[in-house]
Structure 1
Amino acid sequence: MIVFFLAIAILITIKIIWVLCATSGQGSFDREKKEIIRRANYLTSMVCTSPQGLLDEMPSGIGEQFQGEWALYTCSMTSAALANIAILYPPNKELSIKFIDQIIDIAMSEEIREYDKLRWREDPMDGIYGNLSHISYYSHLAWMISRYKQIGGDGKYDDLYHSLCKAMNRRIRKSKSLNLPTYPGEYIYIPDMLVAIVALANYSSQYEGKYSTTVDMWVERAKKEWIDKETGLVASFLEAYNDSVQIVLPVKGSYSALNCYYLSLVDSEFAKEQYDCLMKNYKQGFPFAGLKEYHDRTCLFGMDIDAGPIIFNLSPSGTAFTIGCAASLDDMEFRNKLLKTAEIGGSTVTWFGKSHYLLANLALVGEAIVLAMRTSAPQTRMRNK
């Protein structure tokens, strides 16, 4: 027993030292530059491969649909991280443009868009002038192109960008609720809709306000009609019912954090209100800083395809997305606490100019999400840059 407890004590001590060393340089974007660049080096080496190579990095046990979703999300979040890095550290701009270009090509491939084709029984590229939703695939691809252009990318994807945003805008405006389903026969997932709204907002800023009315209409409807009365947060799910939609419970921590992050890119005032509600209902400080998946019940151990393994109430993806909310809304103190939690759970390794969490070996998408979130500087700083 003495040997056993001694071994446990040694392991805990090693972990504490590991975390302290790994987080010693955190605290500001300037201090974290070296680590952020190393993590970008790792991500680009893993993501900028063949489309099938990227799909092979996704866990096989989650099935073909989620493999495709996770691969697209990895592309989307890696692109966001690289664009953020180009703005935070301008000497890296040309390299970011180069890699985002490669990632967009991968996201456009038949292999990646297969997950959406399987559900809609139509290739999203073939249906761009049709009426089926395809909102998940279109929105992420359009957002990637918008960030590519934001940091100085050329007009290589302009025709596709125009077509994607025109298609999304037409279908959103055609819907009486201004919402589209991710897949046929399923709920409306608000985070998926918000990617489309962010992409349209970026397009609007680049093309003289085009589609800004749609963005404003959607946000106003969200404020008035899709707020959960108990938490004050935008719903996670909506269900279409005749010509209207109804809120579907629960309001999940992971979805709410992602909603808040995307809103911070569109309406910072509304996002700040949502962030305050998020902190009131889902914030957890013990035993680790993070975000709970459920505000109204305890879940010491559980599993969720979107949140990940829930341990001591904490939602891994919810905690990661909250890093982005905190960073975008200038709550750097909580952002840094969340990064420490990420280190406790993830464990950073570094070699040959690359850094990543050991958990990236199991879920590369998590590595991409955390880097995109931690580099999401307040929007005032982004605009000033």
Structure 2
Amino acid sequence: MLITIAVIASLIIVKMLWVTCATSGLGDWDSERKDIIRRANYLTERVASSPQQVMDEMPSGIGGQFKGEWALYTCSMTSVALANIALLYPQNKEVSLKYIDKIIDIALSEEIREYDALRWGEDPMDGIYGELSHISYYSHLAWMISRYKEIGGDDKYDWEYRALCEAMNRRIRESIYLNLPTYPGESIYVPDMLVAIVALNYYAKQNGGRYSETVKLWIERAKREWIDQETGLLASFLEVDGDSLKVAPSIKGSYSSLNCYYLSLVDKGFAMEQYELLKTHFKQTFPVGGIKEYHDHSCWLGVDIDAGPIIMNLSSSGTAFAIGCATNLGDMEFRKQLLKTAEIAGSTISWLGQSHYLLANLALVGEAIALAMRTTR
């Protein structure tokens, strides 16, 4: 028993020292640069490859729809991370442009589009002038192109960018709810809608304010109509109720963190209000810092397709998205706590100029999200 206790104590001490070393220098962009670039090297080797390789990187047990979703999200978040890096470290701009270009081509492929085509019964790019939603696919692709343009990308994807944003804007404005479903017959997932609002906001900045009225209108209605009365947070889900939408009672930490992150790219004031409410209802500091998945009950061990593993109440994806909120809204102390939690759970592996969390071997999308959130400014 004494030997066992000694071994466990030794492992804990080693882990504590590992985490301390791995997270030293957090909050200083020059100190973080080496680790950030090494993580980008790891991601680009796996994502800027081929459509089939990206699909093969996704977990096989989650089914075709979620493999497609996760593949698109991996492409999207890797592109966001690379654009962020180009802004943080301008000497990396040309490398970022090269890889984002490659990743957009992959996201445009039939292999990646298939998950959305199967649910809507038509290829999303074939239906660009049609009436069906396709909001999840359109919004992420448009956001990727917007970041490519932001850091100096050429006009290669201008037709797609213009067509995607025109389609999203038209369908949103034609909807009496000002929202579109991700898939037919399902609730409206507010984070998915917010990607569209973010993409339209980028387009407006780059094209003389076009579609800015839609962004403004959506945000105003969100503040008035789509707020959970118990927490004050923007809804996770909206359900059709006649000619209006009602807020579903389920408010999730993962969705609220993601909502807050997207809002920080559109409306900083609203985002800051939501961020304070997020911390009030979902922040957990013991035994490690992070975001809980449920504010009204405990879950010490569970699994959720969106939240990921839930351990000691903490939501894996909620905690990761909160890194983006903390970074973009200037809460560097909480950011440091969140990155320490990521290190405790993920355990960084470094080899041959690359670094990644060990958990990336199971879910590459998590590595892409963490880097995108960490580098957001």
Q: TM-score, normalised by structure 1?
A: 0.97
Deviations 1:37-90 (A, max 9, x none): 110011001101110111001000100000000000000000000000000100
Question: Structure 2 CA distance, aligned partners of 1:175 and 1:242?
Answer: 13
Whether 1:218 aligns to 2:218 is: yes
Shift of 1:243: 1.6
Deviations 1:109-130 (A, max 9, x none): 0000100011001100110000
Question: Structure 2 CA distance, aligned partners of 1:15 and 1:286?
Answer: 17
How do 1:138-177 residues align onto structure 2 when only pairs under 5 Å count?
138-177=138-177
User: Counterpart of 1:124 in structure 2: which amino acid?
Assistant: P
Task: Tell whether the 8 Å contact from 1:29 to 1:375 is kept in structure 2 after alignment.
Answer: no
User: Counterpart of 1:156 in structure 2: which amino acid?
Assistant: K
Residue number in structure 2 paired with 1:281: 281
Question: Structure 2 CA distance, aligned partners of 1:27 and 1:177?
Answer: 41
- Percent sequence identity is 71
Deviations 1:282-308 (A, max 9, x none): 000000000000111011111110001
Question: Structure 1 CA distance, aligned partners of 2:25 and 2:199?
Answer: 33
Residue number in structure 2 paired with 1:125: 125
Question: Structure 2 CA distance, aligned partners of 1:192 and 1:90?
Answer: 30
Residue number in structure 2 paired with 1:353: 353
Residue number in structure 2 paired with 1:198: 198
Question: Structure 1 CA distance, aligned partners of 2:81 and 2:183?
Answer: 27
Shift of 1:25: 2.7
Mean Cα displacement is larger for which, 26-35 or 276-285? 26-35
How many residue pairs match? The answer is: 377
Residue number in structure 1 paired with 2:269: 269
Question: Structure 2 CA distance, aligned partners of 1:229 and 1:137?
Answer: 31
Q: Give the SS at the match of 1:373.
A: helix
Residue number in structure 2 paired with 1:380: none
User: Counterpart of 2:238 in structure 1: which amino acid?
Assistant: L
Residue number in structure 2 paired with 1:338: 338
Whether 1:96 aligns to 2:96 is: yes
Shift of 1:241: 2.2
Question: Structure 1 CA distance, aligned partners of 2:289 and 2:345?
Answer: 12
Question: Structure 1 CA distance, aligned partners of 2:28 and 2:229?
Answer: 36
Q: Give the SS at the match of 2:179.
A: coil
User: Counterpart of 1:108 in structure 2: which amino acid?
Assistant: L
Residue number in structure 2 paired with 1:292: 292
Task: Tell whether the 8 Å contact from 1:78 to 1:372 is kept in structure 2 after alignment.
Answer: yes
User: Counterpart of 2:70 in structure 1: which amino acid?
Assistant: W
Aligned structure 1 segments of 4 or more residues deviating by more than 4 angstroms: none
Question: Structure 2 CA distance, aligned partners of 1:103 and 1:117?
Answer: 20
Q: TM-score, normalised by structure 2?
A: 0.99
Shift of 1:27: 2.2
Deviations 1:195-249 (A, max 9, x none): 0000000000000000000000000000000000111100000011222111112
Shift of 1:3: 2.0
Q: Which runs of 5+ in 1 are unaligned?
A: 378-385
User: Counterpart of 2:82 in structure 1: which amino acid?
Assistant: L
Taking only aligned residues, the RMSD between alpha carbons, in angstroms, comes to 0.7
Mean Cα displacement is larger for which, 239-248 or 163-172? 239-248
